[in-house]
């Protein structure tokens, strides 16, 4: 993952124009807004889950840990599972690990995920997303899960 640029854009006010800041100045006159890495991570995770064809996020170990967590009363799955981010002052880079549903075009899915993540993060945070790296960790085949109740007829398919 490349490191995002660490400088802030000049702030604009609806009524008055704020002059450009001097080099090295780190905050506009009205104050600063800092977006935590976990905020960007959650936004990217939720935006990824919105795309049809994404079965789950995370690698095998993360999914196994999450399934254990789901069995604990009151525990919830992390919205940022399977997502890692680097957030600078103006830019962010995102890595997403996904499990895709069998039969889905991975190239089309990756394009849709990338577009949705960039749109959501940029719209909600104002950060420029410089890259969204997608790692397909597995393909989900219906009937492979305990939750899928496909009858076992004993036949070879």
CATH number of the CATH domain containing 135: 3.30.70.1350
Q: Does 106 fall in a domain?
A: yes
Q: Does 116 fall in a domain?
A: yes
Q: Does 82 fall in a domain?
A: yes
**What value does the mean pLDDT take over residues 108-133?**
98
91 Ramachandran zone, left/alpha/beta (phi>0; psi -120 to 50): beta
Residue 122 has pLDDT above 80, yes or no: yes
Distance (Å, whole) CA 6 – CA 44? 20
Q: Does 17 fall in a domain?
A: no
Token reading at 50 = 């919105």
Residue 79 has pLDDT above 80, yes or no: no
**What percent of the chain stands above pLDDT 70?**
62
Residue pair 89/8 in contact by the 8 Å Cβ criterion? yes
Crossing angle (nearest 10°) for helices 37-49 and 106-125 = 140
The predicted model scores a pTM of 0.67
The range of the structural domain enclosing residue 72 comes to 37-140
Q: Does 150 fall in a domain?
A: no
Q: Does 44 fall in a domain?
A: yes
Q: Does 127 fall in a domain?
A: yes
Q: Does 61 fall in a domain?
A: yes
The angle formed by the CA atoms of residues 123, 119 and 102, to the nearest 5 degrees, is 145
**What value does the mean pLDDT take over residues 91-108?**
97
Q: Which residues contact 39 (CB under 8 A, 6 or more apart)?
A: 125
User: What local confidence, expressed as pLDDT, does residue 28 receive?
Assistant: 64
The dihedral over CA atoms of 59, 93, 3, 122, expressed in degrees to the nearest 10, equals: -160
Q: How many domains would you assign to the chain?
A: 1
Which residue is associated with the tokens 């939750």? 147
- pLDDT class of 78 with cuts at 50, 70, 90: low
User: What local confidence, expressed as pLDDT, does residue 74 receive?
Assistant: 58
User: What local confidence, expressed as pLDDT, does residue 13 receive?
Assistant: 41
Q: Which residue has better confidence, 118 or 34?
A: 118
């Amino acid at each position: 993952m490349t490191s995002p640029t660490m400088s802030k854009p000049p702030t604009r006010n609806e009524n008055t124009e704020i002059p450009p800041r001097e080099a090295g100045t780190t905050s506009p006159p009205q104050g600063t807004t800092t977006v935590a890495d976990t905020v960007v991570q959650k936004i990217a995770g939720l935006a990824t889950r919105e795309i049809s064809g994404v079965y789950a996020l995370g690698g095998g170990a993360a999914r196994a840990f999450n399934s254990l967590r789901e069995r604990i009363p009151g525990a919830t799955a992390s919205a940022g599972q399977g997502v890692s981010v680097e957030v600078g002052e103006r830019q962010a880079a995102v890595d997403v690990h996904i499990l895709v549903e069998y039969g889905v075009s991975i190239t089309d899915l990756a394009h849709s995920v990338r577009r949705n993540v960039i749109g959501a993060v940029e719209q909600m945070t104002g950060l420029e997303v410089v890259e969204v790296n997608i790692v397909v960790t597995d393909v989900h085949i219906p009937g492979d899960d305990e939750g899928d109740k496909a009858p076992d007829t004993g036949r070879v398919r």
